[in-house]
């Protein structure tokens, strides 16, 4: 009798694009364990700052460096869970390396490549009432969203090249989350 397939998901993308919302839906649908990368990165940032694993990477080169610094830890976690159901979600994921090493995992990527920084600011000020965005000024957030939009475009190109689903949640947030849920297995 064949083994039951594992439900193993990597949910990547930029902040405020729907990764956590989608992950919560996967948890409800498949009863998978959830590993959110954000608090793990905060732990590294606080306890082992010399490793360079931080949320303070607001340009592409610094972001990619953090992803590479985090890669050995992340890969070890995936190896230790190879016989379990799980969902990893986060922004600072070495996405291309993950896919090259673990092509059998289910990948979902969320972003907002067609949004403007002002649209993203308006959205988080209206809907994200209790998260990290509240600690930043509008000017800081506009600059941050500029980077996230550029990163969304980069991720979208990578997804097209690798034939991985990319969901633009900038305009139709919930319908895109639902569309992604429909193709999970």
Tell if the pTM clears 0.85, that is, is over it: yes
Query: What domains are there in the chain, each with its CATH number?
Result: 8-182 (3.40.50.300)
Higher pLDDT, 26 or 4: 26
3, 83 Cβ separation under 8 angstroms: no
* Residue carrying the six token digits 């097209």: 160
Edge-to-edge strands of the sheet including 8-13?
A: 33-36, 86-90, 8-13, 106-111, 166-168
pLDDT at 1: 40
- pLDDT one-digit tens code per residue, 40-63: 999 999 999 999 999 999 899 999
Q: Distance between CA 89 and CA 23 in Å, rounded?
A: 7
Q: Which helix or strand (DSSP H or E) is residue 10 part of?
A: strand 8-13
Going by pLDDT thresholds of 50, 70 and 90, the confidence category of residue 91 is very high
Going by pLDDT thresholds of 50, 70 and 90, the confidence category of residue 66 is very high
72, 97 Cβ separation under 8 angstroms: no
Spatial CA neighbour of 177 closest among 81, 109, 127:
109
pLDDT at 185: 86
Least confident of 7-11, 71-75, 101-105, 120-124: 120-124
**What's the residue count for the chain?**
185
Instruction: Give Rg (Cα) of the chain.
Output: 16
Rounded average pLDDT over 70-80: 96
């Amino acid at each position: 009798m064949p083994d039951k397939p594992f439900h193993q998901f990597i949910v990547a993308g930029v902040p405020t694009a729907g990764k956590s919302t989608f992950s919560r839906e996967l948890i409800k649908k498949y009863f998978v364990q959830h590993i959110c990368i954000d608090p793990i990165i905060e732990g590294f940032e606080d306890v082992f700052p010399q490793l360079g694993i931080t949320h303070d990477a607001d340009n592409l080169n610094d972001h990619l460096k953090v992803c590479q610094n985090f890669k050995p830890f992340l890969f070890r976690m995936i190896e230790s869970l190879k016989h379990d159901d799980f969902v990893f979600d986060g922004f600072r994921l070495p996405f291309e390396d993950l896919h090259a090493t673990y092509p059998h995992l289910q990948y979902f990527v969320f972003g907002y490549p067609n949004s403007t920084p002002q649209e993203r600011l308006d959205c988080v000020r209206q809907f994200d009432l209790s998260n990290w965005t509240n600690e930043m000024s509008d000017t800081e957030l506009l600059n941050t969203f500029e980077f996230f939009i550029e990163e969304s475009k980069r991720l979208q190109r990578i997804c097209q090249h690798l034939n991985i689903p990319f969901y633009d949640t900038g305009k139709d947030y919930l319908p895109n989350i639902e569309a992604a849920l429909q193709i999970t297995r």
